[in-house]
């Protein structure tokens, strides 16, 4: 009997597809958990950003509402919209958490114009690390 020929390209394609499926499952899991616990994560996130002196605000409540709304809407967003949002900072760190990356870009781009924000401090990596310190618990091991 002839030996089945397994090409390197075929094996590589299978590996790439397996990695893509794993990342997609992780992304869906993270976004759904964040949506289901949006209010709790929003409170923790705003507190962490204030504690680490990333944000100065005159209304903590309004920021909590903004972050809770973002967390709830993220699970229903199109993949293209998420990727478009995080594109400028995609290479910020190796193997980033997509949720932390999205919220970092949200703080940098959109939250700066919010009426209750007085100032935002730190560079992109500092903001990412503060946000990821809250959401790293969602990432499966």
Question: What average pLDDT does the structure give for the chain?
Answer: 89
Contact 124, 15 (CB under 8 A): no
Q: Kind and range of the H or E element at 56?
A: strand 55-57
Kindly state whether residue 35 falls inside one of the protein's structural domains: yes
Q: Which domain holds residue 98?
A: 8-138
Q: Is residue 65 part of a domain?
A: yes
In a domain, 43, yes or no: yes
Per the structure, the count of domains in the chain is 1
Residue 120, in any domain of the structure: yes
Q: Is residue 3 part of a domain?
A: no
pLDDT at 59 over 70: yes
Q: How far is CA 135 from the centre of its chain?
A: 8
Q: Mean of the pLDDT values across residues 104-123? A: 93
Share of the chain above pLDDT 90, in %: 70
Inside any domain, residue 56: yes
Token pair for residue 116?
Answer: 């209750």
> CA-CA distance, 5 to 12, in Å (whole number)?
14
The answer to the question of residue 2 being in a domain is no
pTM for the model = 0.85
In the block, tokens 């290479």 appear at 91
Residue with tokens 């870009």: 105
Q: Which residues contact 35 (CB under 8 A, 6 or more apart)?
A: 71, 72, 74, 75
What is the predicted pLDDT for the residue at 5?
A: 52
Question: In this structure, is residue 74 part of a structural domain?
Answer: yes
Residue spans of beta strands (DSSP E) within the chain = 55-57, 117-120
Average of pLDDT values for 53-63?
94
Asked whether residue 68 carries a pLDDT value surpassing 80, the answer given is yes
């Amino acid at each position: 009997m002839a030996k089945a020929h397994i090409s390197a390209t075929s094996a590589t394609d299978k590996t790439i597809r397996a990695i893509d499926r794993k990342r997609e499952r992780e992304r869906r899991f993270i976004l759904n958990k964040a949506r289901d616990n949006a209010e709790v994560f929003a409170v923790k996130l705003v507190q962490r950003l204030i504690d680490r002196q990333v944000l100065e605000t005159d209304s903590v409540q309004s920021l909590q509402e903004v972050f809770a709304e973002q967390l709830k809407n993220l699970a229903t967003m199109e993949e293209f919209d998420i990727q478009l949002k995080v594109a400028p900072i995609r290479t910020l760190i190796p193997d980033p958490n997509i949720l932390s990356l999205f919220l970092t870009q949200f703080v940098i781009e959109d939250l700066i114009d919010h009426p209750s924000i007085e100032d935002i401090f730190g560079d992109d990596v500092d903001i990412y690390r503060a946000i990821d310190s809250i959401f790293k618990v969602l990432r499966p091991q």
